[in-house]
Amino acid sequence: MGKFIYKGKTIEIGTQKILYASQNLKVSSKDLQERFDKGWDIEDALKYNFNHVMYKGKICRKIKHKGLIFYIVAEDLKRSKVPPQAIIKYLNDGHIMDDILPLETEFYIVEREKDALRNLVYKDRLRKERQKEQAEAR
């Protein structure tokens, strides 16, 4: 049994659930308490892995890529049925998030490095111009 503070009250979470969270989700007891402190409900705190964080009051899947951090709303990502591994692959191939996810998927972009977003948009424009030139050459 693990004891946690949740909404000002002490709660107990069973050993099996804590073991599952730590082994399968890579979420420690300390991480669980931090999630509760940030406003997560119990079910969500025990459901999402370590890549999920609270951002702007929403549980999001965090993806880092070339100086940018993408926060994709977890429920939207689940509905889109696009796995995070595919998103990372497409980003590495030069695609932008708007091309990867359905329009109704909510996400946020935060720059970790100065001008990272501008550089990404510039590279995307160059990629599209090359594709257009190749199509015209055929």
119 sits in which H/E element:
helix 116-137
Give me the long-range contacts of 56-64 (CB less than 8 A, separation at least 24): 56/108, 58/106, 60/107, 60/108, 63/87, 63/88, 63/91, 64/112
For the chain, the C-alpha Rg in angstroms (whole number) is: 19
Q: What is the tens place of the pLDDT at every residue in 95-114?
A: 888 889 998 999 998 877 66
Spatial contact of 76 and 103, defined as CB atoms under 8 Å apart: no
Residue bearing the bigger pLDDT, 117 or 17: 17
Residue bearing the bigger pLDDT, 137 or 113: 137
Query: pLDDT value at position 24?
Result: 94
Residue bearing the bigger pLDDT, 118 or 25: 25
Counting residues of the chain whose pLDDT is more than 90, the rounded percentage is 68
Q: What is the tens place of the pLDDT at every residue in 10-58?
A: 999 999 999 999 999 999 999 999 999 999 999 999 999 999 999 999 9
The predicted model scores a pTM of 0.76
Q: Is 48 left (phi over 0), alpha (psi -120 to 50) or beta?
A: beta
Query: pLDDT value at position 113?
Result: 66
